[in-house]
Amino acid sequence: MESNKKSFTGVVTSDKMDKTIVVSVHNRSLHPLYKKYVTSTKKLKAHDEKNEAHVGDTVRVVECRHLSKDKCWRLTQIIERAK
């Protein structure tokens, strides 16, 4: 894995498309004024060549070239299977 590419760890929320998964990445950050933690969620479409990831799995995705209009991430590793 090249170090200059971004990678995220998230949870698969959809696997209904062929060779594509939707990964939700959660980020908690402290609000500068109110000092409260704010949760933001980012949904990424990732390429899953073998259709091996399913809903609830924790996965790692890495950026790659655009494979379709909004799919520019690739599944590299399934960290934990859904129970």
DSSP for 1-40 reads: --TTS-EEEEEEEE--STTEEEEEEEEEEE-TTT--EEEE
Domain 7-80: assigned CATH number: 2.40.50.140
Reported as a single tens digit per residue, the pLDDT across 29-66 is: 999 999 999 999 999 999 999 999 999 999 999 999 99
Tell me the per-residue pLDDT of 3-15, one tens digit each, with 9 for 90 and over: 789 999 999 999 9
Strand-pair category, 37-47 with 58-63: unpaired
Place of tokens 């390429």: 47
Q: Does residue 38 contact residue 45 with C-beta atoms inside 8 Å?
A: no
- pTM for this structure? 0.88
